[in-house]
Amino acid sequence: MTERPPILSISARELEAWLSSRDVPTYRRKQLWGWLARGAASFDDMRDIPKPLRAELDHEFRITSLRPVAVSQADRGLTTKTLYELDGGHSVEAVVMRYADRSTLCISSQAGCPIGCPFCATGKFPFGRNLKSHEIVEQALDAARMLPAEGRRLSHVVFMGMGEPMANYQAVVESVRRISDPELLAISPRRVVISTSGLIPRIDQLGQEKLAVTLAISLHAARDDLRDVLVPINRKYPVADLVASAQSYADRTSRRVSYEWVLLAGVNDTERDAAELGRLLRGKLAHVNLIPFNPVDDTPYRAPDRGGVRRFRQLVEAQGLNVTVRDTRGREADAACGQLHERVMRERSAVTAS
């Protein structure tokens, strides 16, 4: 028997056509999307939809294609990481981070990642596949389901989970349109961050979408010889061209670009690195976000200690740049992207081997 399609794998128009073909008024589609946004876990929860229609929907569609297979909590419950199995067997992670003034979801756009940064847990296992747009939106719907019971609402989405979002461009843009759709999750694009290792043609394309999402560049090094190693796509799209493309995005959208810098002790946290970063970004609409490295097994990299983080921050500030240090959420929750996936896969192979 073939699986029923997930309800969000069809467009609003297709769903309305399906309803019309059953002589059901098309406003039911809006009601249904409203229930999804409010976290309905089944069609049967959709109380203002007539019961026979709920049963028919359940017969034809699934509410989501994602199956949660592992959950880990950290930061006294403020961070929840969920590993989902996708149709066909690959799996991806999503992380909910609760703050005083917002609730942010870190979302995955690919199962695995083809970029292969050597400090990243996701980059270490083989690339699986691109996610479909509904699989991306379903991660957000699952967070929207989890949060209201805590008196919270999903307010921000960052594409910083598994994968390179710009390598799955169409599905990512489509998912942002749905996440921001007032009839679905209604999260302003301004509260959505798309992070990229630097696929310049896609950054230029994004600038033309009239979406005004925040762009984050995974920079990590300001000179080509080091960035060629840390972010291998740099060999194709060198750092000066990347920053020029990001600056055009900032000019076009008036959105400040965020430059992410994972701090690796002794590798990219020296005076020289700060000076190079200053030369690259001074005078630009830019913000530097320092991220103390979250140690990943089988990599040669180490996290700097607190003093090292503080010192590098001061060096970057002295360059006249805006800089913050990201709080390292979820140290005990297999926090670096790909780590929960890696642990579950290890445990599964241990079970299979025993």
Q: Going by C-beta distance under 8 Å and a sequence separation of 6 or more, which residues neighbour residue 187? A: 140, 154, 155, 156, 157, 179, 180
| CB nearer to ligand SF4: pick between 219 and 316 | 219
Which stretch in 24-32, 34-42, 110-118, 137-145 sits in contact with ligand SF4 by CB under 6 A? 110-118
- DSSP one-letter string for 62-128: BS-S-EEEEEEEEGGGTEEEEEEEPTTS-EEEEEEEE-SS-EEEE--SEES-SS--TT-SGGGSPP-
Helix 27-37 to helix 133-146 angle, to the nearest 10 degrees? Answer: 60
What is the total count of residues that contact ligand SF4 (CB under 6 A)? Answer: 13
- Judged by CB, which is closer to ligand SF4: 162, or 333? 162
C-alpha span between 103 and 23 (Å, rounded): 40
317 alpha carbon, distance to own chain's centre: 28
Determine which residue in the list 72, 197, 245, 258 makes contact with ligand SF4, applying CB under 6 A.
197
Position 198 contacts ligand SF4 (CB under 6 A): no
The single residue among 123, 207, 278, 330 that binds ligand SF4, judged by CB under 6 A, is 123
* Between 96 and 337, CB nearer to ligand SF4: 337
Residues between 162 and 191 that touch ligand SF4 (CB under 6 A)? 162-164
- 37 vs 200, which CB is nearer to ligand SF4? 200
Give the shortest CB-273-to-ligand SF4 separation in angstroms: 18
CA angle 174–326–268, rounded 5-degree value: 100
Q: Which amino acid is at 278?
A: G
Spacing of C-alpha 26 from chain mean position: 32
Tokens for 180, please give them: 């921001």
Asked whether position 308 contacts ligand SF4 by CB under 6 A, the answer is no
Nearest residue (CB) to ligand SF4, 154 versus 262: 262
Q: What sign has the CA pseudo-torsion 117, 122, 126, 131?
A: negative
String of DSSP letters for 301-334: -----HHHHHHHHHHHHTTT--EEE---TTTTTT
> What is the pattern of x (binds ligand SF4, CB under 6 A) and - over residues 209-238?
---------x--------------------
122 near ligand SF4, rule: CB under 6 A: yes
Q: Considering the rule CB under 6 A, would residue 116 count as an interface residue with ligand SF4? A: yes
Shortest approach of ligand SF4 to residue 186 CB, angstroms?
28
Residue 196, helix vs strand vs coil: strand
Can residue 92 be called a binding residue for ligand SF4 (CB under 6 A)? Answer: no
Please list the active-site residues. 93, 337
Here the tokens at position 135 are 């699989």
- Residue 113 as a binder of ligand SF4 (CB under 6 A): the answer is yes
Question: Smallest gap, in angstroms, from Cβ of residue 115 to ligand SF4?
Answer: 4
Q: What is the three-class DSSP state of 200? A: helix
The verdict on 296 binding ligand SF4 (CB under 6 A) reads no
Alpha-carbon distance of 82 to 4, in angstroms, equals 23
Q: Are 115 and 123 in contact (CB under 8 A)?
A: yes
Which span sits near ligand SF4 by CB under 6 A: 113-121, 173-181, 246-254, 288-296?
113-121
Instruction: Between 61 and 301, name the residue whose CB sits nearer to ligand SF4.
Output: 301
**Of 40 and 83, CB closest to ligand SF4:** 83
Q: Which residues within the stretch 144-163 sit at the binding site for ligand SF4 (CB under 6 A)?
A: 162-163
Taking the C-alpha atoms of residue 1 and residue 224, their distance in angstroms, rounded to an integer, is: 52
Q: What is the C-alpha radius of gyration for the chain, rounded to an integer number of angstroms?
A: 21
Contact residue for ligand SF4 among 37, 120, 217, 290 (CB under 6 A): 120
Contact region with ligand SF4 (CB under 6 A), list: 30-38, 120-128, 135-143, 276-284: 120-128
In the complex, the residues that contact ligand SF4 under the rule CB under 6 A are 113, 115-117, 120, 122-123, 162-164, 197, 218, 337
